């Protein structure tokens, strides 16, 4: 093979890996990578790097494919780090390709140079590299791809000096298929099957990794075979069990006492694809002991951190299928099905309960809900059941605000066959609001529903719960989201009366343009958990 530029060799590699849709915000150190852009590549431009990473995250999760992200040296990577952290918690296989100053300038710490570039995004990338030689750039990207796409998946980082792209290389980059999932230890699975067969009141706690691995149908079949009720793990970022199924029991709260109290009626709990457990607040140690726990996870860190229970390392689809082959069909009495609250009355101001119940009535059946309303998360669970078993629900597992508005754009680009709705708080929306420009530029039919209670209500409520008084920095208000959206090319309407909500949402779902619905809601939510 003759010589060619590193740029040409890398583009061949990206084609072979299917990484031709690239999300980015470029700077001068990226010019050599971008010059002569191929016609068969798509560059999705975002106006700020945090939104770029979140858009790529939503695209990757909805498509179930890795995605390349192009960022600018240290400053751009720094802007993006909040959502690199989110991508790490979301287990999203992003290959982050960042520019670096010319190699010849690096000894003098130049303008736009990234000092210790590979350390900057740690520990929230699985692997980080700046190749020692220009000719090693394609091999580094191939290595990054295989690390990112191995379970547990996650972001990786490659820093490339600007002059590397024009260097010549004759070095081929051998291609290998993605590393497949792996099964559990047979003896461990048999022990778990024996314990389940002996159990009288088993439960399953479903985590995000079940949907991430496309194993929701397998978990449904296992639950039905066992006659076991299914809870959702605290703060789960995806829907891993259909919420209209008769075995669905609801959501565990991210607090020890409440989680233990909820599970106290079971004599065995299988935790599939989640930590045991993720908590947000501490109100003391639980008086109720947790039942015997068994954990299926592909993440060795999750298994190592578990304070209780028996861990079995496996990717979720293979682990659940192996377990289903060994357990006996149960003749247990089915648990009582979950009873949801009735739709509340229409009031002014609109309550979050009414808003979510109305959204549930008009949302298309295969819709994707991308959520970021921290003060209303339990209300969403009560009034907006997620029934789609294929990426029907996405949210930022890290809790870093600003994720869901741009992530919804990426999800809609990846799945044009489905309607995507982003349900957002007013505070959350402002972190990456400039992503609306990309929605208009790409003309993706996303519906952005902003529930505006004029405050950082989650901070206020938790502060009051902890006896905090006179907390500063929680009041918002006065933001005209319709004007912001219109200024960036997105159609928008404002809703203040309950009677106008369903027509506004229906019109938005039927519109082929991106649309923002600004809903003024009751500013007095009183509880999170």
Predicted local distance difference test score (pLDDT) of residue 525? 67
- Give the count of beta carbons closer than 10 Å to the beta carbon of residue 147: 20
Q: How far is CA 220 from the centre of its chain?
A: 22
Nearest by Cα to 252 from 242, 466, 264? 264
Q: Could you give the domains of the chain? A: 4-169 (3.40.50.970), 186-326 (3.40.50.1220), 352-520 (3.40.50.970)
| Separation between Cα atoms, residue 273 and residue 297, nearest integer Å | 5
Decide: helix, strand or coil at residue 133: coil
- Determine contact, residues 130/97, Cβ cutoff 8 Å: no
**CA trace torsion 230, 232, 238, 241 (10° rounding):** 10
What is the distance between the alpha carbons of residues 500 and 520, in angstroms, rounded to a whole number?
12
For residue 80, the model assigns a pLDDT of 98
SS3 content of the chain, % helix, strand, coil (to 5): 40, 20, 45
Amino acid 474: pLDDT: 67
CA–CA separation, 330 and 223 (whole Å): 10
Residues 6+ apart with CB under 8 A from 469: none
CA distance linking residue 404 with residue 439, whole number of Å: 13
Q: By the 8 A CB rule, do 398 and 84 touch? A: no
The two beta strands, 168-169 and 4-5, are antiparallel
The pLDDT value given to residue 520: 95
For each of the chain's 529 residues, which pLDDT tens digit applies? Answer: 568 999 999 999 999 999 999 999 999 999 999 999 999 999 999 999 999 999 999 999 999 999 999 999 999 999 999 999 999 999 999 999 999 999 999 999 999 999 999 999 999 999 999 999 999 999 999 999 999 999 999 999 999 999 999 999 987 887 788 999 999 999 999 999 999 999 999 999 999 999 999 999 999 999 999 999 999 999 999 999 999 999 999 999 998 999 999 999 999 999 999 999 888 877 778 778 899 999 999 999 999 999 889 999 999 999 999 999 999 987 898 899 899 999 999 988 999 999 999 999 999 889 999 999 988 899 999 999 999 888 999 999 988 999 999 999 999 999 999 999 999 999 999 999 999 999 999 999 999 999 998 766 666 666 666 666 667 766 678 899 999 999 999 999 999 999 999 999 999 999 999 999 999 998 876 666 6
Residue 68, judged by CB atoms within 10 A of its CB (0-12, 13-18, 19+), counts as buried
276: closest CA among 203, 217, 219, 330? 203
Q: Is residue 408 within 8 Å of residue 370, measured between CB atoms?
A: yes
Q: What whole-number distance in Å separates Cα of residue 111 and Cα of residue 313?
A: 46
For β-strands 202-206 and 229-232, DSSP reports them as parallel
CA R_g for the chain: 24
- How far apart CA 238 and CA 340 sit, in angstroms, is 20
Structural contact between residues 432 and 405, judged by C-beta atoms closer than 8 angstroms: yes
Of 96, 107, 88, 112, nearest to 52 by C-alpha is 96
Rounded distance between C-alpha atoms, residue 260 and residue 253, angstroms: 9
Task: Judge contact between 70 and 30, C-beta under 8 A.
Answer: yes
Helix (H) or strand (E) holding 519: strand 515-520
- The DSSP-derived string for 108-122 is G--TT--TTTTTTTT
| CA atoms within 13 Å, Cβ hemisphere of 180 | 4
C-alpha separations of 69 from 284, 295, 442 in Å: 42, 33, 17
What is the enclosing helix (H) or strand (E) of 170?
A: none
Cβ density class 499-509: b for 16+ within 10 Å, e for less: eebeebbeebb
Q: Using an 8 Å Cβ cutoff, are 112 and 26 in contact?
A: no
Tell the residue number behind the tokens 């529903």, with chain if given. Answer: 449
Using DSSP's 3-state secondary structure scheme, residue 55 falls into helix
Tell me: cis bond preceding 343? Omega within 30 of 0 counts.
no
Q: For residue 475, give both structure tokens.
A: 């009041």
Supply angle C-alpha 304, 90, 275, rounded to 5: 30
């Amino acid at each position: 093979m003759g010589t060619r530029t590193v740029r040409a060799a890398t583009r061949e590699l990206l084609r072979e890996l299917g990484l031709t849709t690239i999300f980015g915000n470029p700077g001068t150190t990226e010019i050599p990578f971008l010059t002569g852009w191929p016609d068969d590549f798509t560059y999705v431009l975002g106006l700020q790097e945090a939104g770029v990473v979140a858009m790529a995250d939503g695209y990757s999760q909805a498509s179930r494919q890795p995605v390349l992200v192009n960022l600018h040296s240290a400053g751009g990577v720094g802007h993006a780090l909040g959502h690199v952290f989110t991508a790490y918690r979301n287990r999203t296989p992003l290959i982050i390709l960042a520019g670096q100053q010319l190699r010849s300038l690096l000894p003098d710490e130049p303008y736009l140079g990234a000092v210790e570039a590979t350390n900057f995004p740690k520990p929230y990338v699985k692997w980080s590299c700046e190749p020692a030689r220009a000719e090693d750039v394609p091999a580094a990207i191939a290595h990054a791809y295989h690390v990112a796409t191995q379970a547990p998946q996650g972001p990786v980082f490659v820093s490339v000096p600007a002059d590397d792209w024009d260097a010549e290389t004759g070095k081929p980059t051998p291609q290998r298929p993605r590393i497949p999932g792996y099964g559990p230890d047979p003896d461990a699975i048999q022990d778990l099957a024996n314990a389940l067969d002996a159990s009288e009141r088993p439960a399953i706690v479903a985590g995000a990794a079940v949907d991430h691995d496309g194993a929701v149908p397998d978990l449904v079949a296992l639950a039905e075979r066992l006659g076991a009720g299914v809870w959702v793990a605290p703060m789960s970022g995806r829907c891993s069990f259909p919420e209209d199924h008769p075995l669905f029991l609801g959501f565990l709260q991210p607090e020890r006492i409440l989680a233990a109290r909820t599970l106290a009626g079971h004599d065995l709990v299988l935790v599939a694809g989640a930590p045991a457990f993720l908590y947000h607040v501490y109100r003391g140690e639980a008086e109720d002991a947790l039942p015997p726990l068994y954990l299926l996870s592909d993440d060795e860190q999750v298994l190592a951190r578990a304070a209780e229970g028996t861990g079995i390392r496996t990717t979720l689809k293979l682990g659940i299928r192996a377990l289903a082959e060994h357990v006996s069909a149960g003749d247990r009495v089915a648990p009582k099905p979950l009873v949801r609250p009735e739709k509340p009355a229409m009031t002014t101001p609109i309550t979050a309960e009414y808003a979510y119940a109305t959204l549930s009535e008009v949302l298309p059946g295969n819709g994707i809900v991308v959520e970021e309303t921290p003060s209303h998360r339990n209300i969403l669970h009560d009034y907006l059941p997620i029934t789609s078993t294929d990426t029907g629900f996405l949210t930022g597992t890290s809790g870093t605000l600003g994720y869901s508005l741009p992530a919804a754009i990426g999800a809609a680009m990846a799945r044009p066959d489905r309607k995507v709705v982003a349900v957002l708080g007013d505070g959350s929306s402002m972190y990456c609001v400039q992503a609306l420009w990309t929605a208009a530029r790409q003309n993706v039919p996303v519906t952005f529903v902003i529930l505006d209670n004029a405050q950082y209500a989650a901070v206020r409520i938790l502060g009051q719960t902890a006896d905090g008084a006179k907390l500063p920095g929680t009041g918002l208000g006065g933001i005209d989201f319709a004007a912001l959206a219109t200024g960036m090319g997105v159609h928008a309407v404002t809703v203040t009366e309950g009677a106008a909500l369903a027509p506004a949402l229906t019109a938005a779902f039927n519109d082929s343009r991106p649309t923002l619905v600004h809903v003024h809601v009751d500013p007095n939510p009183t509880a999170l958990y």
